[in-house]
Amino acid sequence: MTFIKNIKQKPFFDLILVILIIVFDQITKYLLMKDVGLNNTKAFLPGIVEFTLVTNTGGAFSLFKEFPWFFKLIGIINILIFSYLTFCPTVKFKNLMKTGFACILGGTMGNLIDRFFRGGVIDFINLQFMNFAIFNVADISIDIGVGLLFIGWFLRDKK
């Protein structure tokens, strides 16, 4: 247990986490583009989840899709900020918050790769049981990261 605690205190853990998020995000998109194809749908868990591959040039919920350059710029700025917050040794945050920053960084990098090399973010997870936007692994990672930041903020030492 001490070994795992010590690993989590090192930037190495966060770097591995960022890399795993990017790799998993890009592999899922690649495999589904190859198997399903863009603008097509494949049932995964009928009535619950289907894979619907779409390209999103905008932000969340396809907002402002007429400004794709803006989201590339915001992505680059976010990568710089979250790289600093995750890996700079002088920035003091609890491990939980550093892990949250790493999740946001990995998700942002996964989506930014799509923006530069695929013309937009590839989204594919479609929850059929509710009316919600189609999303991807990188989006989930960003959401988990934000959740970890909130938890870390609530658990912080109040001085």
14 in active site: no
**Residue 67 and residue 24: Cα distance in Å, rounded?**
27
123 in active site: yes
User: Any idea what DSSP says for residue 148?
Assistant: H
Please list the residues that pair with 52 across neighbouring strands: 41
**Residue 36 and residue 20: Cα distance in Å, rounded?**
23
**Of 25, 123, 143, 157, which residue is the catalytic one?**
123
SS (H, E, C) 82-142: HHHHHHCCCCCCCHHHHHHHHHHHHHHHHHHHHHHHCCCEEEEEEECCCCCCCECHHHHHH
**Of 114, 139, 143, 157, which residue is the catalytic one?**
139
Report the interhelical angle of 11-35 vs 68-87 (nearest 10°).
Answer: 150
Active-site residues, by number, are: 123, 139
